[in-house]
Chains A and B, each alone.
Chain A
Amino acid sequence: MNFLYCLIIPLLLNLLISLGCTPAQTNVERGISEQVLYIGIGSEPEGLDPHLVSGVTEHYVLLSLFEGLTTVDPKTLDILPGVAESWTISDDGLSYTFHLDSEAMWSNGDSVSAHDFVFSYERILSPKLGAPYAYMLYSIKGAEAFHKGQTDSFSTVGVEALDARTLKIQLHSVTPYFLSLPTHFTWWPVHPPTILKHGAMTDRISKWTQPKHFVGNGPFALKSWRLNNGISVVQNSFYRAADRLKLNGIEFLPINLETEERAFRAGQIHITSGVPTARIDWYRSNRPESIRFDPYLGVYYYLVNTEKAPLSDKRVRQALAYAINRESLTEYVLKGGQKPAYHFTPPNTGGFTADKNFTYDPERARALLAEAGFPKGDNFPEIELLYNTSESHKIVAEAIQQMWKQELGITIRLHNQEWKVYLDSRQKGDFDIARAAWIGDYLDPYTFLGLGISDSGNNHSGWKDAPFDQLLTQATQTLDNDERFELFQKAEDRLIEAMPFIPIYFYVRSLLIDSSVQGWHSNILDYHPYQFISLKAED
Chain B
Amino acid sequence: MFQLSIKRLIQAIPTLWIIATLTFILMQLTPGGPFDQEKPVTPEIKKLIEAHYGMDKPIHEQYIQFIVKRLQGDFGPSYKYAGWDVDEIIAQAFPVSLELGLYALIIAIFIGVPLGILTALFHKKPMEIVFMSIALIGICLPAFVLGPLLLLVFSTELGWFNPFGWNSFSDRILPAFTLGLFYAAFIARLTRSGTLDVLKHPYIQTAKAKGLSSIRILFVHTLRSALSSVVSYLGPAVAGMISGSFVVETLFFIPGLGSFFVNSAFNRDDTMVMGTVLFYAALIILFNLIVDLIQIWMNPKLNRD
Contacts and interface: CB of A to CB of B under 8 A. Distances in A.
Given A11-B106, A46-B82, A423 B255 contact: no
B170 interface: yes
A224 B32 CA distance: 33
A193 interface: no
A23 B162 contact: yes
B84 A130 contact: no
A27 to B, nearest CB: 9
A204 B93 CA distance: 23
B49 to A, nearest CB: 4
Nearest to A134: B45
B45 A130 contact: yes
B223 to A, nearest CB: 11
B255 A229 contact: yes
B2 interface: no
Contacts of A253: 164, 253
B130 interface: no
Interface stretch (B151-159, B195-203, B277-285): B151-159
A455 B107 CA distance: 60
B92 interface: yes
B255 A256 contact: no
A268 B164 contact: yes
B77 A18 contact: no
B82 A47 contact: yes
Interface stretch (B12-20, B33-41, B231-239, B287-295): B33-41
A416 B107 CA distance: 39
B272 to A, nearest CB: 11
B45 to A, nearest CB: 5
B60 to A, nearest CB: 24
A419 B266 contact: yes
Interface in B40-55: 40-42, 44-46, 48-49, 52
A420 B268 contact: yes
B163 A127 contact: no
Contact of A209 (B83, B151, B163): B83
Contacts of B41: 130, 132, 457
A423 B37 contact: yes
Q: Give the interface centre of B38, B44, B89, B256 by most chain A CB atoms within 10 Å.
A: B38
B155 A457 contact: no
B259 interface: yes
B99 to A, nearest CB: 14
Interface in B96-119: 106, 110
Contact of B81 (A44, A425, A437): A44
The secondary-structure label for the interface of chain A is loop
A227 B31 contact: no
Interface string B163-183: 111101110010000000000
A263 B170 contact: no
Contacts of A15: 173
Interface string A195-213: 0000000001111111000
A395 interface: no
Contact of B110 (A8, A130, A229, A421): A8
B80 interface: yes
A418 B81 contact: no
B164 A420 contact: no
Contacts of B94: none
A53 B39 CA distance: 12
Given A15-B173, A22-B159, A209 B82 contact: yes
Interface string B239-269: 0000000000011111110011000001110
B253 A259 contact: yes
Given A8-B110, A127-B48, A259 B36 contact: no
A47 B81 contact: yes
Given A44-B81, A265-B156, A427-B36, A22 B164 contact: no
Contact of A148 (B44, B77, B151): B44
Q: Give the interface centre of B31, B48, B266 by most chain A CB atoms within 10 Å.
A: B31
Contacts of A259: 163-164, 251-253
A148 B48 CA distance: 11
Contacts of B32: 419-421, 423-424
A18 B173 contact: yes
A54 interface: yes
A359 interface: no
A421 B31 CA distance: 6
B297 interface: no
B131 interface: no
B161 interface: yes
A424 B260 contact: no
B13 to A, nearest CB: 29
B252 to A, nearest CB: 8
Interface in A43-66: 44, 46-49, 52-54
B37 A47 contact: no
A196 to B, nearest CB: 15
B48 A268 contact: no
A266 interface: yes
13 contacts: A8-B110, A21-B168, A22-B159, A46-B82, A128-B48, A130-B49, A131-B45, A228-B260, A253-B164, A256-B253, A259-B163, A259-B253, A268-B164
> What 4 pairs between A and B have smallest CB-CB spacing?
A420-B32, A47-B82, A130-B49, A229-B255
Interface of A: 1, 7-8, 11, 14-15, 18-19, 21-23, 44, 46-49, 52-54, 127-128, 130-134, 148-149, 204-210, 226-229, 253, 255-256, 259, 262-263, 265-266, 268, 418-421, 423-425, 427, 437, 457-458
Given A18-B169, A420-B268, 7 more contacts: A8-B110, A15-B173, A49-B82, A54-B37, A259-B253, A262-B164, A420-B33
